[in-house]
């Protein structure tokens, strides 16, 4: 089935093929990607759209000496297959398998890790200047999607690139009229106008070449070129930034791609090639519905993706229902997303409240300051954002929102383990980077209903507030339609130990860790507190537990360093208490990709892992438990 593809173990093999074999190879590669992703799950639509481009780049350029940076890296499956990882695709995004994104540690052909967007131009510029400063001859290519180019960092890089007139740097704008959600903003219309003006641009370039070849009329050529630039003025944005603009061309037509790339390779100075591709190209269901097929699970390619069976609502759905309910009652509610309409659960909100829905594109910094502007003039903005993407707007969070104490609500999805997307998407750091910010309230729900009530609580806080919740479904707790604000900074006791003094353990469980903590508590007959608030902490509850128990165990789905457990220790130190404390969470390392339940177990954050950690801690401190019953602390029982 894959006769040609099976002979390609590196780009060296690819470059040995006659050019007439590249079309059949593209057909095989596209079929391989479809059937591979159908078996494993992963990113599909974007990768079906970059097959010909991947072949052309590795055919024309001398990789890995020439550098290719993919942005965003979820469009690089064809690149991975052509660079020796064909067989490894069977384990992509699985524990111990290859990543779904480029990784420098995985292959010499993965020149830069690009799982977040809009970074390729900066990286490629750095590589080009590194080559120049070390007297090395190489080309650097940045492949950036039309969604990723909405990020401001791309334009910061373009502004910088334009001052280097002789660098061998090529930017390929892969314009497929899609981000993860449909693209938004003025740039979408700009690229559309460029494509519509393709005929005028072709005339301009043809005339320019013809006249430049005639020395006697070269001056006239320059004058005519200026006039044609006026005719096709949409190309001048990139030209004004110092690029030589070419395109748009058909990104699925190798007869256009190969000679164009070859010609651009031989030109000096920054080049920008605008290609037009189709997300999901070659597989009708994906081309028709690229959002559905952006990152599917396993499916039958012959049948397509079936609607998922009814299941417990996800936390994302809880958020989506909540914000619609709040918006129905309060016209000041505004929803903001940085290009994650589906992922953040805002599809229904956009349908019902289109004038109060704002997709700002892949522009997290702008999203936060835009929200600050709305809040400054009396509205109630809710920013729906992934934990890992909020990192990209930290300065705006502090300077534009927190310092001014503006009431912006952050609905932080994907807090904790995310699974197959791995380290770049794991929400490991939000507790640590949020809790140190003055004026900010931070909550972590233990279940679906608590999530809804915490989101409502966040709206009631007079200042910035955040609710962090995990990916996927909860534990099946029924969700009340009522909306009731929780008392800020107050936790609750969910289980009380009956052990005597000298043998008592208390869990301080934050957010999603309540359920495994309750399960592990059965082994030790431990007290369990659902802390609810990370900032402000329930200091009174922590002090009470510390005075009446012999070991405190803090457990959180986030990094230990600077996390909620650290906050608890800081509080205890401030009041002069120094009980034994075991902190459980993510250790000082990045979390690898894999099935969430497996990864959580490897991190020691399932019930059995928590139990093992406590047993090891007790053994190291020569502590043991008797089976004697003892009196239960009445004040704890009253708070349970």
- Residues classed as catalytic: 279, 364, 392
First-last CA distance in the chain: 64
Tell me the three-class secondary structure of 195-208, residue by residue: HHCHHHHHHHHHHH
Euclidean distance between CA atoms 530 and 78, whole angstroms: 46
* Cα separations in angstroms, 528 against 454, 510, 616: 20, 10, 19
Q: Kindly compute the dihedral angle of the four CA atoms of residues 607, 612, 614, 616, in this order, to the nearest 10 degrees.
A: -170
Euclidean distance between CA atoms 297 and 303, whole angstroms: 14
Cβ neighbour number for residue 498 with a 10 Å cutoff: 12
Cβ neighbour number for residue 54 with a 10 Å cutoff: 26
338 Cβ contact partners less than 8 Å away, ≥ 6 residues apart: 359, 360, 361, 362, 363, 364, 367, 385, 389
For residue 276, what is the enclosing H or E element?
strand 271-276
Name the residue with tokens 């040609």.
4
DSSP 8-state secondary structure symbol assigned to residue 486: P
CA angle 7, 8, 11 (to 5 degrees): 150
Q: In what order do the strands lie in the sheet with 244-250?
A: 67-71, 140-145, 169-175, 271-276, 244-250
DSSP for 301-368, written as a single string: TTTBPPPPPP-PPBHHHHHHHHHHHHHHH-TTEEEEESS-TTTTT-HHHHHH-GGGEEE--S-HHHHH
Euclidean distance between CA atoms 150 and 177, whole angstroms: 12
Cα radius of gyration (the chain): 28
Euclidean distance between CA atoms 481 and 530, whole angstroms: 22
3-state secondary structure of 396: helix
CB 433 within 8 A of CB 391: yes
316 Cβ contact partners less than 8 Å away, ≥ 6 residues apart: 343, 344, 345, 413, 471
Cβ neighbour number for residue 630 with a 10 Å cutoff: 15
Euclidean distance between CA atoms 452 and 439, whole angstroms: 22
Euclidean distance between CA atoms 39 and 263, whole angstroms: 39
């Amino acid at each position: 089935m894959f006769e040609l593809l099976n002979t390609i173990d590196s780009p060296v093999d690819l470059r040995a093929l006659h050019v007439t074999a590249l079309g059949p190879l593209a057909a095989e590669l596209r079929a391989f990607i479809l059937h591979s992703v159908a078996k494993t799950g992963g990113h599909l639509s974007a990768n079906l759209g970059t097959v010909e481009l991947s072949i052309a780049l590795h055919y024309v350029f001398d990789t890995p000496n020439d550098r290719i940076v993919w942005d965003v890296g979820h469009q690089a499956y064809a690149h991975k297959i052509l660079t020796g990882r064909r067989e490894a695709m069977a384990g992509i995004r699985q524990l111990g398998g290859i990543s779904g994104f480029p990784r420098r540690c995985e292959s010499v052909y993965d020149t830069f890790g690009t799982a977040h967007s809009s970074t390729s131009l900066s990286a490629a510029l750095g590589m080009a200047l590194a080559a120049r400063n070390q007297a090395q001859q190489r080309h650097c290519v940045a492949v950036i999607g039309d969604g990723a180019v909405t990020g401001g960092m791309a334009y910061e890089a373009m502004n910088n690139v334009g001052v280097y007139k002789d660098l061998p740097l090529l930017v390929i704008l892969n314009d497929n009229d899609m981000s993860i959600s449909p693209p938004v903003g003025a740039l979408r219309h700009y690229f559309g106008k460029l494509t519509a003006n393709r005929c005028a641009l072709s005339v301009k370039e043809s005339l320019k070449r013809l006249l430049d070849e005639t020395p006697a009329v070269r001056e006239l050529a320059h004058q005519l070129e200026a006039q044609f630039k006026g005719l096709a003025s949409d190309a001048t944005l990139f030209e004004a930034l110092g690029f030589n603009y070419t395109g748009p061309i058909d990104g699925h037509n190798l007869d256009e791609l190969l000679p164009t790339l070859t010609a651009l390779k031989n030109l000096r100075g920054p080049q920008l090639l605008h290609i037009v591709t189709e997300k999901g190209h070659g597989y009708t269901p994906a081309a028709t519905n690229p959002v559905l097929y952006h990152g599917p699970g396993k499916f039958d390619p012959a049948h397509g993706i079936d609607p998922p069976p009814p299941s417990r609502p996800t936390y994302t759905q809880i958020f989506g229902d909540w914000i619609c309910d709040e918006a129905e009652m309060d016209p000041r509610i505004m929803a903001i997303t940085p290009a994650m309409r589906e992922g953040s659960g805002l599809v229904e909100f956009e349908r019902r409240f289109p004038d109060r829905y704002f997709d700002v594109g892949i522009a997290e910094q702008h999203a936060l300051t835009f929200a600050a502007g709305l809040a400054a003039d009396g509205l109630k903005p809710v920013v729906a954002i992934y934990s890992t993407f909020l990192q990209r707007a930290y300065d705006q969070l502090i300077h534009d929102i927190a310092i001014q104490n503006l009431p912006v609500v952050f609905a932080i999805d994907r807090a904790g383990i995310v699974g197959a997307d791995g380290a770049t998407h794991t929400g490991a750091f939000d507790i640590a980077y949020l809790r140190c910010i003055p004026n900010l309230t931070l909550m972590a729900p233990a279940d679906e209903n608590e999530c809804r009530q915490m989101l409502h609580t966040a709206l009631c806080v007079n200042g910035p507030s955040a609710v962090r919740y995990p990916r996927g479904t909860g534990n099946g707790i029924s969700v009340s339609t009522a909306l009731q604000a929780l008392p800020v900074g107050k936790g609750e006791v969910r289980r009380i130990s009956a052990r005597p003094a000298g043998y008592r353990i208390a869990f301080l469980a934050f957010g999603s860790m309540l359920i495994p903590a309750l399960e592990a508590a059965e082994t030790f007959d431990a007290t369990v507190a659902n802390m609810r608030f990370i900032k402000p902490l329930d200091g009174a509850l922590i002090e009470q537990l510390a005075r009446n128990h012999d070991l405190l165990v803090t457990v959180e789905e986030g990094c230990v360093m600077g996390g909620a457990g650290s906050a608890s220790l800081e509080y205890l130190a401030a009041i002069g208490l120094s009980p034994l404390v075991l902190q459980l969470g993510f250790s000082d390392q990045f979390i690898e990709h894999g099935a969430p339940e497996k990864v959580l177990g490897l991190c020691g954050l399932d019930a059995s892992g928590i139990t093992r950690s406590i047993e090891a801690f007790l053994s190291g401190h020569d502590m043991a438990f008797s089976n004697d019953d003892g009196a239960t602390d009445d004040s704890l029982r009253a708070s349970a």
